[in-house]
Amino acid sequence: MKRPLNLGAGFVFVLYLALGPFVYPRQPQALPMASWSVQDIEARNREGLHVVGVSAARSGSGRFLPDLKPLAPSDIYTVGSRAEGDLRLKFATTIYNAGRGPLETRGARNPRTGALEVYQYVYEGERAAKSRPVGTFNYNHRHGHLHFDEFARYELWSLGADGKRVARVAENAKVGFCLMDIKQMSSDRTHLESGLIERPGGPVYAGCRRDVQGISVGWGDEYLALLYEQDLDLTGVPSGNYALVITSNPEQQIEEMDYRNNAAVAYVTLEGEEVVWSSEVAESGS
C-alpha cells in the first residue's frame, strides 16, 4: 500500500518523544531518567543486577551481557515513484535487548582526531567495566541528534521458486540508531525467567546523549516507518516476491551473549509500485 509522507521527520521525532510515555507504559522511575547522570544510571542498574546476581552461577559468568534481537519489520508500504526516481520501501524497526545485562555505550571525544569514540561498558557483578571499542557517535542532520553508527543493516533479497533467497537487490548497510529504552517487551522474549527475576536496570536510557546511550534488558529501541533511513531504494527493483531482512549489530562490534539471533525477516510481494502482500515472520540467524 502506498502512503504519502505528510510530516517532516524532525517534527515527527520530537512529537514521538513527547508522546512516548503515553503510548508505551513506563515504570515511574523512568520519568526523570533523561537528566540522570552516568552515576545515577550505574546505581539504577546495580539495583536490578543485584537481584539478577542470584542467577550468575546458573549462567556460568559474572558478566551480564546484552543480547540484541530485531523484531520482524512491520508497517511496510511504499512512497514515491519509479518515474521520479524516488520509489522507496518504508518499514518500522524494533531492536530489543533480550540478554542478562544492559547494552551500555559511552562516548568520549578523541582530542587527536576529534571523533566521538564509543566504548561498550559491561556490568561485571555490580560494576560497570569499560570493555571493547565499538564505533563512533555521529550527528545525523536528518534526525537532528547523535546516532551510534552502523547499529543495523537493512536488505531486500529476491526469492526463488523454492522461497529461498537468491540475490540482494537493495541495501541500507550502515544504519545509525540513537540507543534508547522506547518499547517494553514481554518477559518471554528475554533470557530472564518470567516471575523469578526482575529485569535489570530498565528503563534507564533516554535521550541521544554523547556520554551514555543504551538499551535495558526487556526494552527495545523502535524506529517508525515514516522516519528517515527507515527505507530501501526500490527504483530499479521489479515486481516480485522478496525477503526484507533486518540485522542488528551486523559487524558484531558489540559484545553479546549470542550472535545467531541478530536477524529477522518479513516477506513482501511488490506489484508495480505498491506492496500488495506482506507477512511478518521472525527469523534467527544472519
| The overall pTM is greater than 0.85 | no
Q: What is the pLDDT of residue 97?
A: 94
Q: What is the pLDDT of residue 88?
A: 96
User: By mean pLDDT, which of 55-59, 84-88, 266-270 is the weakest?
Assistant: 55-59
Contact 284, 89 (CB under 8 A): no
CA 126, CA 250: separation in Å to the nearest integer?
28
> What single-letter DSSP state applies at residue 13?
H
Q: What is the pLDDT of residue 187?
A: 72
Q: What is the rounded average pLDDT for all residues in the chain?
A: 81
Q: What is the pLDDT of residue 61?
A: 57
Q: Quick check: 33 pLDDT over 80?
A: no
Q: Which residue has the higher pLDDT, 73 or 143?
A: 73
pLDDT band of residue 144 (cuts 50, 70, 90) is: low
Q: What is the pLDDT of residue 100?
A: 86
Give mean pLDDT, residues 22-27.
Answer: 39
Instruction: Tally helices (H) and strands (E) across the chain.
Output: 3, 16
Q: Which residue has the higher pLDDT, 68 or 141?
A: 68
Give the residue among 62, 97, 69 at the shortest CA–CA distance from 205: 97
Q: pLDDT tens across 69-80, in order?
A: 999 999 999 999
Give mean pLDDT, residues 208-227.
Answer: 91
Q: Which residue has the higher pLDDT, 124 or 72?
A: 72
Q: Which residue has the higher pLDDT, 282 or 119?
A: 119
Q: Dump the DSSP string for 138-153.
A: EEETTTTEEEEEEEEE
> What single-letter DSSP state applies at residue 226?
T
Q: What is the pLDDT of residue 16?
A: 47
pLDDT band of residue 193 (cuts 50, 70, 90) is: low
Cell of 161: 521458486
Q: Dump the DSSP string for 203-241.
A: S---S--SS-EEE-TTEEEEE-TTSTTSEEE-TTPPSEE
User: Ramachandran region of residue 201, left (φ > 0), alpha (ψ -120 to 50) or beta?
Assistant: left
Question: In Å, how far from its chain's centre is CA 22?
Answer: 21
CA 67, CA 217: separation in Å to the nearest integer?
8
Residue 115 buriedness (CB in 10 A; 0-12 / 13-18 / 19+)? middle
Q: Dump the DSSP string for 163-195.
A: S-EEEEEEEEEEEEE-----EEPPGGGSSSPTT
Q: What is the pLDDT of residue 45?
A: 85
Give mean pLDDT, residues 105-115.
Answer: 87
CA 241, CA 230: separation in Å to the nearest integer?
20
Q: Quick check: 60 pLDDT over 70?
A: no
Phi, psi (5° rounding) for residue 274? Answer: -130, 150
Q: Quick check: 30 pLDDT over 60?
A: no
Q: Quick check: 29 pLDDT over 50?
A: no
User: Within a 10 A sphere around the Cβ of 163, how many other Cβ atoms?
Assistant: 9
Q: Quick check: 263 pLDDT over 50?
A: yes
Give the residue among 70, 118, 125 at the shortest CA–CA distance from 286: 70
CA 104, CA 52: separation in Å to the nearest integer?
17
Measured between alpha carbons, how far is residue 135 from residues 115, 132, 246, 276 in Å? 10, 9, 20, 38
Q: What is the pLDDT of residue 210?
A: 85
Helix (H, G, I), strand (E, B), or coil: what is residue 55? helix
Phi, psi (5° rounding) for residue 59? Answer: -85, -10
